[in-house]
């Protein structure tokens, strides 16, 4: 094989990535399938992204009626402000997509609920806007299994990378010979 050897462009890199947590709010979290899994893996993502110094954003869907983000997540995101929205897709959350682009973000890691509504619509809009999307399947959920499974299939069919929390963190690390690796290894245990 001749030619230039390079890494796959779909592998996440710190300098152009961001984490987006979508609507992981107390009042709706309680009716999701496996809410503990969503919270635990979202916490791992938040902690890992903080260690790696990668931007984190989070949204709240109609917080007046659905409440605020789950307390364990909020305590880890101290100093960040929720992007409040009433549209299902984050595309309708003011200038959020422009904000991502202005910050040189081209890859977005997604966690949140519900997989087949706000997560899916946001992912499809991000793809249409030229962003690479990476859905953490173990940090997303819906009220029922069928909606969750079909949402993952549809997002993948339209170009989303569907993966796991651990895979995301290790992609961003790229190397095991760092202090960051030791810290993240503690998080994923």
- pLDDT tens digits for range 15-25: 999 999 999 99
Question: Per-residue pLDDT for 160 more than 90?
Answer: yes
Domain ranges of the chain: 14-188
What is the per-residue pLDDT for 121? 98
Please provide the CATH number assigned to the domain covering 14-188: 3.40.50.850
d(CA 142, CA 149): 9
What is the per-residue pLDDT for 144? 96
What digits encode the pLDDT tens for the residues 24-33?
Answer: 999 999 999 9
What sign does the dihedral 157-57-74-179 (CA atoms) show? positive
d(CA 165, CA 149): 17
What is the per-residue pLDDT for 114? 96
Question: Per-residue pLDDT for 1 more than 70?
Answer: no
What digits encode the pLDDT tens for the residues 50-106?
Answer: 999 999 999 999 988 888 999 999 999 999 999 999 999 999 998 999 999 999 999
Average pLDDT, the chain: 94
What sign does the dihedral 18-117-28-160 (CA atoms) show? negative
d(CA 88, CA 141): 15
């Amino acid at each position: 094989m001749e030619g230039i050897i390079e890494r796959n462009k779909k592998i996440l890199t710190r300098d152009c990535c961001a984490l987006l947590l979508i609507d992981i709010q107390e009042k709706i979290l309680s009716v999701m399938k496996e809410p503990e899994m969503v919270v635990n893996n979202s916490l791992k993502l938040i902690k890992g992204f903080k260690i790696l110094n990668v931007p984190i954003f989070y949204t709240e869907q109609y917080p007046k009626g659905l409440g605020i983000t789950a307390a364990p997540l909020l305590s880890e995101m101290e100093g960040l402000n929720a992007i409040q929205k009433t549209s299902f897709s984050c595309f309708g959350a003011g200038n959020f997509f422009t904000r991502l682009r202005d910050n040189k973000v081209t890859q977005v890691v997604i966690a949140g609920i519900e997989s087949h509504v706000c997560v899916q619509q946001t992912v499809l809009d991000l793809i249409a806007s030229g962003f690479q999307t990476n859905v953490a399947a173990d940090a997303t959920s819906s009220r029922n299994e069928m909606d969750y499974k079909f949402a993952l299939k549809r997002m993948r069919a339209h170009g989303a990378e569907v993966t796991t929390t651990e895979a995301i963190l290790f992609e961003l690390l790229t190397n095991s010979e760092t202090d960051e690796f030791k810290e993240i290894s503690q998080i994923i245990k």
